[in-house]
Every structure is written in C-alpha cells, then in structure tokens.
C-alpha cells in the first residue's frame, strides 16, 4: 500500500511532456517591485500562471524546486528544472482544486504529518550524511537545503492528503487477474531475470509483488489520463512561455 502511494504520487508530480510553449495573450497582473539606489525598479516576484482563479508566483516555483529534495522518487536528484517545477506546481494546483470541490481535506492532521516526516527521515537517501533520525541532523539537512521545518511539515501534510485522495479515487475497483500475473511473469519477468543471470523465483512466491506492480501501473495510467482531462477542462493561463501552453477557459467557466 505504501509503495502504491509513493509511486502513484510520483506519477502525479513527475514532469510530463506538454505541448510546445505558446505566448499567452492574457494581461499580466502586477508584481511586487522595489527601488534600487539608482531609482530603477527591481522585480521581487512575478506571476507565472493563473490556474482557474489561483495565482501562481515565481516564488512558488522556487519553493517547489527547494522542496523537491523531499521527494526523490518523483524528482530524481539533478534532474529538476524550473520548467518541470512549474508544471508540477500547476498540476498539483489542479488536483487540490478537485479535492476541494469534492469536499476532501487537502491536509492531514499535524500528528499524522509529523509521523510521516519521521518515516521519511529514516528512509530518505539524501538524509544519510546528516543522521536525520536525530532532530539536530534533520534541522541541519533542512537548513542546508534552505527549507524551514514549517515548509517541510506543510508540504508533507499536503502530500499525504493527496496520496489518500489518489488511492480513494483510483485504487478502488481495480482487480488484477491471475492470468495477468502469470502473463507478466512468463513474458516479462522471467526473460529479464534470465538475461541478467538472476535466479528466477517461483511464480507462487513472487505473485503478490507482481500483483502490486500491475496495480501501480493501472493507477499511474489512470492518473495521467485524469490530469490531462483536468487541464483540458480547466483554465490554465501560462504567463511565462517556457513553463508551458495556456488552456483557454471553457465558455461559461471561470475566467
């Protein structure tokens, strides 16, 4: 179940191929500015997208990149870009809006979030040099990645809520047949193990793991299709062309 949640969320948040960027014609909202000693304005932040009625800022993208270190399965180390971070941010915003529309909580309790973070600290590969099992080590890890404890707690609370929503929406009703399991075993697993000269376990022993894998594949496919539908049905105005292509609002929908 935990593996499903992790991989399902990885599919939800991982960068996906989007259409080629296109310049939005929407008016750009004002952004905070400051004056330098020379009197020239300096942009402190800027709007990068409007998802339905939700305004997303460049600072949100920056935060998304910083917090990616907490989700190495979804965002492999060294593979992230601002473009990918912006796309994850837009997708999560669409999902959170759906959760609100369906009266589903977008966070979990503080106790549950703290418990989840404790489990993360024990397994997060990047935590090893810091001894994150201790509070001092965890604080050092967060500080070195420019993350506050409150940011980590809030993100993990939201992540756990999304995991619950994804499992509730997509896992129920999926049934993997014994034929699907044996087909995967004979046609995919056995040849792969033999090619790498790895001993082949009996089907009976490995069947539960194959069932879990096939279940994850079904869920990930459904999540991908669902996200495409959310984007197509919503209004996503991309104000920074490098971050993707805008989706016009539907007639009668939110403008």
pLDDT score recorded for residue 37: 59
pLDDT score recorded for residue 169: 85
Whole-number Cα distances in Å, 18 to 7, 34, 61, 137, 228: 21, 34, 17, 39, 10
CATH number of the domain located at residue range(s) 2-243 in this protein: 1.10.4030.10
Burial of 214 (0-12, 13-18, 19+ CB in 10 A): middle
pLDDT score recorded for residue 234: 82
Whole-number Cα distances in Å, 198 to 128, 142, 190, 193: 29, 39, 9, 5
pLDDT score recorded for residue 83: 92
Burial of 54 (0-12, 13-18, 19+ CB in 10 A): middle
- Count of Cβ atoms closer than 10 Å to residue 81 Cβ: 11
pLDDT one digit per residue (tens) for the chain, 255 residues: 443 333 344 444 443 333 333 333 333 444 555 555 556 666 678 999 999 889 999 999 999 999 999 987 667 677 789 999 998 999 899 999 999 999 999 999 999 999 999 999 988 878 889 999 999 999 999 999 999 999 999 999 999 999 899 888 888 778 899 999 999 999 999 998 898 888 888 999 889 888 878 887 888 888 888 888 888 888 889 998 888 888 765 554 433
- Count of Cβ atoms closer than 10 Å to residue 181 Cβ: 20
> pTM score > 0.85 for this model?
no
């Amino acid at each position: 179940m935990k593996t499903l949640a992790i991989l399902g969320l990885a599919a939800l948040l991982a960068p996906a191929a989007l259409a080629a960027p296109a310049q939005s014609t929407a008016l750009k909202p004002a952004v905070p500015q400051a004056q330098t000693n020379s009197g020239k304005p300096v942009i402190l932040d800027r709007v990068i997208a409007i998802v339905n009625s939700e305004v997303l800022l460049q600072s949100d993208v920056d935060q998304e990149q910083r917090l990616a270190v907490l989700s190495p399965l979804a965002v492999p180390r060294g593979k992230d870009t601002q473009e990918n971070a912006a796309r994850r941010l837009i997708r999560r915003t669409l999902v959170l809006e759906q959760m609100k529309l369906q009266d589903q909580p977008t966070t979990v309790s503080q106790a549950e979030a703290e418990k989840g973070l404790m489990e993360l600290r024990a397994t997060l590969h990047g935590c090893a040099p810091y001894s994150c099992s201790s509070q001092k080590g965890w604080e050092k890890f967060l500080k070195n990645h420019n993350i506050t404890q409150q940011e980590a707690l809030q993100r993990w609370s939201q992540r756990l809520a999304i995991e619950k929503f994804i499992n509730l929406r997509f896992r129920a009703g999926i049934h993997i047949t014994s034929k699907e399991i044996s087909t995967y075993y004979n046609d995919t697993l056995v040849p792969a193990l033999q090619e790498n000269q790895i001993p082949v376990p009996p089907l009976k022993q490995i069947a539960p793991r194959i069932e879990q894998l096939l279940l994850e594949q079904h869920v990930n496919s459904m999540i991908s299709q669902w996200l495409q539908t959310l984007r197509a049905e919503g209004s996503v105005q991309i104000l920074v062309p490098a971050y993707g292509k805008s989706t016009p609002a539907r007639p009668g929908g939110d403008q």
